[in-house]
Amino acid sequence: MRLKERVAIVTGAASGIGRAAALLFAREGAFVALVDCDEASALRTLDAIRDANGQGSVHQGDVGDGDLAKTIVDGLVSRHGRLDVLMTAAGWSCGGTVVTTDPADWDAVFRTHVSGTWLWARAAIPQMQRQNKGSIVTISSQLAIAGGRSNSAYIAAKGAIISLTRTMAVDFAADGIRVNAIAPGAIETPLLQRSFARHVDSQGMRETSRNRHAMKRFGTAEEVAEAALHLASDASSFTTGIVLPVDGGWLAA
Ligand SMILES: NC(=O)c1ccc[n+]([C@@H]2O[C@H](COP(=O)([O-])OP(=O)(O)OC[C@H]3O[C@@H](n4cnc5c(N)ncnc54)[C@H](O)[C@@H]3O)[C@@H](O)[C@H]2O)c1
């Protein structure tokens, strides 16, 4: 078991990549705190964890709320005495160019992705410093590196996550804390379905996106979860500050 007796937080754990990572981390022995605004779906993730004899807890709320992050981290540390892994996977996108994006949507996307990474790291790092050990896994996107069409707030926020990941990796390397980002390609999740649904020719967009990957297919949430497990566990003990594409060759093609 690669996360035996570890304590992990996964945000966005009710669905898609966060759900798959939470299930895998629990299967690998971690106690997993599941954070999401969708409590009912997060409880279904917890049921699946318990069905597989794993352990976890559900915490409902908005990841852009720094008080929530602190309360959840403090509660976990007082119950379990430690915090080993933070994975920040909560996210959504609104679409639009810089001209068509509503300023309120822009702020909300940045709040979820950028503050939703920063505030959880801010809450988690002091305990990881006390342990002199911890792993933070953030979720960017291949689009932050390659660029993309009509998704400006999301792509800019994903770029900020890469910068934030690198600066945290440098600032806290001496404390035994590793910080790495994953840049997934297009992954079959409700988020991907919703982003295709925004287009008039959603089926055409699906095909274009699928064929943009060298592997000519979409990824699965489980494939991203395996990369997250690698970065969360001691298997990646000399890896920090990287952006790991899990993108079926999107960036190479
Ligand atoms: N699916 C893809 O193709 C793809 C590609 C690259 C990056 N990503 C990123 O991966 C992460 C997971 O996405 P997914 O595809 O699994 O999406 P998803 O929609 O399946 O899951 C996202 C989860 O985040 C939760 N969430 C959203 N905003 C929140 C908030 N403010 N507070 C708390 N919870 C919130 C949702 O309720 C949902 O459960 C996101 O950061 C996304 O941007 C996805």
251 Cβ closer than 6 Å to some ligand 1 atom: no
Q: What integer pLDDT is reported at residue 243 of this predicted model?
A: 98
Structure tokens at 155: 């792509």
Contact yes or no for 64/35 (Cβ under 8 A): no
184 Cβ closer than 6 Å to some ligand 1 atom: yes
Atom 21 of ligand 1: nearest residue by CA position: 15
Q: Where are the domains positioned within the chain?
A: 7-185+221-245
Looking at ligand 1, which atom is closest to the CA of residue 88? 41
Query: Which of 105, 119, 191, 196 has most ligand 1 atoms within 8 Å of its beta carbon, as the pocket-test mutant?
Result: 191
Contact yes or no for 159/148 (Cβ under 8 A): no
Looking at ligand 1, which atom is closest to the CA of residue 219? 3
Q: Is 148 exposed, middle or buried (0-12, 13-18, 19+ CB in 10 A)?
A: middle
CA of 174 to the centre of ligand 1 (A): 31
Q: What integer pLDDT is reported at residue 167 of this predicted model?
A: 98
Residues 6+ apart with CB under 8 A from 208: none
Q: Phi and psi of 135, rounded to 5°?
A: -135, 130
Q: What integer pLDDT is reported at residue 177 of this predicted model?
A: 99
What is the CATH number that goes with domain 7-185+221-245?
A: 3.40.50.720
Distances (CA, A) of 129 to 135, 144, 156: 11, 29, 30
Q: What integer pLDDT is reported at residue 45 of this predicted model?
A: 99
The amino acid present at 87, given as its one-letter code, is M
Catalytic residue numbers read 154
87 Cβ closer than 6 Å to some ligand 1 atom: no
Q: What integer pLDDT is reported at residue 138 of this predicted model?
A: 99
Q: What integer pLDDT is reported at residue 1 of this predicted model?
A: 96
Structure tokens at 33: 């705190």
Q: How confident is the model at residue 168 (pLDDT cuts 50, 70, 90)?
A: very high
CA of 90 to the centre of ligand 1 (A): 4
Q: What integer pLDDT is reported at residue 223 of this predicted model?
A: 99
62 Cβ closer than 6 Å to some ligand 1 atom: yes
Residues 6+ apart with CB under 8 A from 163: none
Q: What is the pLDDT of residues 137-149, one digit of tens each?
A: 999 999 999 999 9
* Distance (Å, whole) CA 138 – CA 180: 6
Atom 20 of ligand 1: nearest residue by CA position: 16
Looking at ligand 1, which atom is closest to the CA of residue 188? 1
Percentage of the chain with pLDDT > 70?
100
Q: What is the pLDDT of residues 22-52, one digit of tens each?
A: 999 999 999 999 999 999 999 999 999 999 9
Q: How confident is the model at residue 74 (pLDDT cuts 50, 70, 90)?
A: very high
Q: Is 223 exposed, middle or buried (0-12, 13-18, 19+ CB in 10 A)?
A: middle
38 Cβ closer than 6 Å to some ligand 1 atom: yes
CA of 112 to the centre of ligand 1 (A): 9
CA of 139 to the centre of ligand 1 (A): 9
247 Cβ closer than 6 Å to some ligand 1 atom: no
Distances (CA, A) of 86 to 13, 21, 101, 162: 12, 11, 30, 16
Q: If residue 9 lies in a helix (H) or strand (E), which one and from where to where?
A: strand 7-11
22 Cβ closer than 6 Å to some ligand 1 atom: no
Q: What is the pLDDT of residues 75-118, one digit of tens each?
A: 999 999 999 999 999 999 999 999 999 999 999 999 999 999 99
14 Cβ closer than 6 Å to some ligand 1 atom: yes
Q: What is the pLDDT of residues 212-243, one digit of tens each?
A: 999 999 999 999 999 999 999 999 999 999 99
Q: What integer pLDDT is reported at residue 178 of this predicted model?
A: 99
Q: What integer pLDDT is reported at residue 181 of this predicted model?
A: 99
